[in-house]
Amino acid sequence: MTLWTHELRLLIRARLTVVALALLAILAVASVAAGMAEVARQRAAIAAIPAAQAEDISAVADYVSRTKDAGSAAYYSFHPTWDSPSPLAFAALGMRDVSPYILRVRALGLEAQIYDGDTFNPELALPGRFDFAFVLVFLAPLFVIALFHDLVSGEREAGRLRSLTALPRGGAGLMRRRTLLRWALLWAALALPFAIGAAWSGVGASIILLILPLIAAYLLFWIGFAALIGRLRWSSVANAATLAACWLVLVLIGPTLANVAINRAVPISQGAEIALAQREQVNHAWDIPREETMRRFYANHPRWADSAPLGPEFHYKWYFAFHQNGDERVADEVRAYREGLKRREAAARSLSWVLPSVGVQTLLTRLADTDLTAQLAYQDRIRGFHERLREFYYGYLFSDRSFTREDFARAPTFKGSRVYRHHSAFLEAR
Amino acid sequence: MNHFGAPPILIDGLTVAYGDHRVLDELSLHVPAGSITALLGGNGAGKSTTLATLLGFVRAQAGTVLVSDVDPGADPDGARRKIAYLPENVALYEHLTAVENADYLLALSDERKERGVITDALAAAGLQQRAWDQRLGGFSKGMRQKVAVAVALLREVPVLLLDEPTSGLDPRATADFNALVSAVRDRGTAVLMVTHDLLSAADVADRIGFLEAGRIVEEVEAVGAERFDVRALHARFAVGTERHAA
């Protein structure tokens, strides 16, 4: 029997250690399963879009075919956009639980549509969903504390430390072996469920091979912390209490205070305020002369300026023009909002160097394309699609062309697929 | 420097100080192979520091310390390979059996023994067969000590260090233990025990040194069948501890 197997036997005989490791493994499995279920739910919702869309458009077409009015077609037709989850999204759901991953847009003013749902659930905002990232970042350190707080002090308190140290292989080498063994077991409890879930979800090997050492490094940070506290030669209880306090500061209080500080340092308005501002602009348009609205619109979009003048009756091109004017009037606010979000994210990313919990969370959500960058990229794709929608409908509206049932099929469709850098051949095979 | 023929425990002019306080003051002590030396002294006399220095836990400020020709200050692991050490309170792993504890401690000593060899040693140490595969949770101090002694027997090292080995043992267990230590001595091991227990020391030791303020102030050798004059020893011991207390 090698020293390693002796240590393993000793560890397995300690009931609390076994319970802790089993609990961590169960939590890891549960988090992976919960993440995969959530991603499957999102994929199913996205997969259901075409059928629902076809039904919806068919009903609109029935209504519009009576008048063949392009304005009615543009007004009543919703066009779905979606942000497909990446293979790794199951491990770090990130913003996918608080931001929409399906958005049905019309050719009307876009900003109100994008930011209408831009409110966060404060109960979910701090810890996030129960996913693998949550277990790793928030819970795993507690298990490190449980297994390492008394690594040396426990032997001292049991009266064994001196006689162990008096043995040729019982000094620092013994503690190194015990540390490595506990580290490996904690890592396995987290890494195995993750690796299986990742392979099943089609995550590429390169990303899996990047995250497995990340798990080990994050555990090592906490083990190092526990070793540092252990060097103070306090009692096991004092070690545990100190480490728990450090956990509270590094994982909960620190990031929360940093978030508050960043929000104060980079003040930005809520997305909903942009939606409100855009709406006010649109509502205000009803009270100003229509010619003024059209003048402004044509100044910004001269390609439609040849359109026939407005008659005394309602015309959708005026309606769509003031919606677009409304978007353009809040463009500066939108730009400032996005810039502010990016500055906040950059500030949060720089925090990673002092708060490893933030660093691990940031890296996981980046790799999983579930962070703010991914959310803004989705908005950019919506904007691009919305631009095409406007072009399509304006072609009918501003030349007073009738809109037939067949024209519905000519409307642009959203290309939802993204090329993920970590999409593996495994997913294709399935 | 060649120490051919040097005793397994050789201490010459050893000085150890904690700050300004000299715990060992030019202590000299030789424990030959196949002999038992007992160091008697009150609290703070330097008994535990002497053992700690031999085990390489404490560095000497001056003097020579050799354990079978190995300087524990320079090569603590090398010295520890030559030493079996029994602390005052033998603490083993409660959730391992007696055999498993012995197996584990031997592994930490870089030694491997078959189960049969281990159980023979446990039997030789006086541990009953039904206790061999029991977890140590319910063991008495004497039973735990027997497990530790069995490990010391199995290691077959030239030096055995005992720290207050009979404290807390009942008279019968003390007699059993002393018999075991004598058996180890007869195998050629140099045994150094530090103790408060004058009677036990007189019973088993070949030589008794009185340690006061970090130096041996008097040494007495066992002579004849009577070995030691216990009354004289007691009087000497009482004077030493009173002087130290004053």
Q: What is the 3-state secondary structure (H, E, C) of chain A?
A: CCHHHHHHHHHHHCHHHHHHHHHHHHHHHHHHHHHHHHHHHHHHHHHCHHHHHHHHHHHHHHHHCCCCCHHHHHHHCCEEEECCCCHHHHCCCHHHHCCCCEEEECCCCHHHHHHCCCCCCHHHHCCCCCCHHHHHHHHHHHHHHHHHCCCCHHHHHHCCHHHHHCCCCCCHHHHHHHHHHHHHHHHHHHHHHHHHHHHHHCECHHHHHHHHHHHHHHHHHHHHHHHHHHCCCCCHHHHHHHHHHHHHHHHHHHHHHHHHHHHHHCCCCCHHHHHHHHHHHHHHHCCCCHHHHHHHHHHHCHHHCCCCCCCCCCCHHHHHHHHHHHHHHCHHHHHHHHHHHHHHHHHHHHHCCCCHHHHHHHHHHHHCCCCHHHHHHHHHHHHHHHHHHHHHHHHHHCCCCCCCHHHHHHCCCCCCCCCCCCECHHHHHC
Largest CA distance in chain A: 102
A139 lies in the same domain as A249: yes
How many residue contacts between A and B have a Cβ separation below 8 Å? 63
Mean pLDDT value of segment B193-220: 90
Per domain, the residue ranges of chain B are 9-245
Give the tens place of pLDDT for each residue, B19-72.
889 999 999 999 999 999 999 988 888 999 999 999 999 999 999 999 999 999
User: Residue A116: its pLDDT value, please?
Assistant: 73
> Does A167 reach chain B within 8 Å, measured CB to CB?
yes
Using alpha carbons, select from B203, B196, B236 the residue that is nearest to residue B219: B236
Higher pLDDT, A168 or A223: A223
- Name the amino acid, one letter, at A41: R
A19 CB neighbours in chain B (<8 A) are none
Q: Name the residue in chain B with its Cα closest to that of A9.
A: B96
Question: Residue A79 in contact with residue A414, Cβ under 8 Å?
Answer: yes
User: Residue A430: its pLDDT value, please?
Assistant: 40
Q: Name the residue in chain A with its Cα closest to that of B115.
A: A1
Mean pLDDT value of segment B164-185: 86
Whether B188 has a pLDDT exceeding 90, the answer reads yes
A330 lies in the same domain as A402: yes
> Any idea which of A63-67, A285-289, A371-375 has the lowest mean pLDDT?
A285-289
To the nearest whole Å, the CA of A176 is away from the closest chain B CA by 13
Q: Name the residue in chain A with its Cα closest to that of B56.
A: A166
Give the tens place of pLDDT for each residue, B71-118.
999 999 999 999 999 998 888 999 999 999 999 999 999 889 999 999
Q: Residue A430 domain-assigned?
A: no
> Does A66 reach chain B within 8 Å, measured CB to CB?
no
B149 CB neighbours in chain A (<8 A) are none
Residue in B80, B85, B104 closest to A10 by CB:
B104
pTM of structure: 0.87
Residue in A3, A9, A168 closest to B80 by CB:
A168
Question: Residue B181 in contact with residue B201, Cβ under 8 Å?
Answer: no
A198 lies in the same domain as A100: no
Beta-carbon separation of A166 and B83 below 8 A: yes
A220 lies in the same domain as A275: no
Last-in-domain residue among A232, A265, A298: A265
Six-digit token pair at B193? 């025990």
Mean pLDDT of chain B: 89
Dihedral pair phi/psi, residue A148, rounded to 5°: -115, -10
Q: In what order do the strands lie in the sheet with B21-31?
A: B21-31, B9-18, B62-67
A279 lies in the same domain as A399: yes
Residue of A163, A169, A176 to mutate, interface with B, max B Cβ within 10 Å:
A163
Element (H, E) at B108: helix B98-108
Q: Residue A52 domain-assigned?
A: yes
Mean pLDDT of chain A: 90
Using alpha carbons, select from B88, B201, B97, B179 the residue that is nearest to residue B141: B88
Q: Residue A364 domain-assigned?
A: yes
> Does B71 reach chain A within 8 Å, measured CB to CB?
no
> Does B107 reach chain A within 8 Å, measured CB to CB?
yes
A283 lies in the same domain as A404: yes
User: Residue B89: its pLDDT value, please?
Assistant: 84
A161 lies in the same domain as A253: yes
A57 lies in the same domain as A137: no
> Does A165 reach chain B within 8 Å, measured CB to CB?
yes
B9-18 and B21-31: which strand pairing?
Answer: antiparallel
Whether A30 has a pLDDT exceeding 90, the answer reads yes
A181 lies in the same domain as A290: no
Which DSSP symbol is given to B158?
S
Last-in-domain residue among A200, A234, A265: A265
Domain covering B9-245 in this structure, CATH number: 3.40.50.300
A254 lies in the same domain as A356: no
Residue in B87, B110, B148 closest to A162 by CB:
B87
Question: Within its chain, how far is the Cα of B79 from the centroid?
Answer: 14
Residue in A15, A159, A174 closest to B108 by CB:
A174
Domain count, chain A: 2
Element (H, E) at B24: strand B21-31
Q: Residue A274 domain-assigned?
A: yes
Beta-carbon separation of A163 and B91 below 8 A: yes
> Does B162 reach chain A within 8 Å, measured CB to CB?
no
Question: Within its chain, how far is the Cα of A73 from the centroid?
Answer: 34
A180 lies in the same domain as A277: no
Boundaries of domain holding A174 = 3-29+132-265
Beta-carbon separation of B95 and A9 below 8 A: no
Beta-carbon separation of B107 and A3 below 8 A: yes
A225 lies in the same domain as A346: no
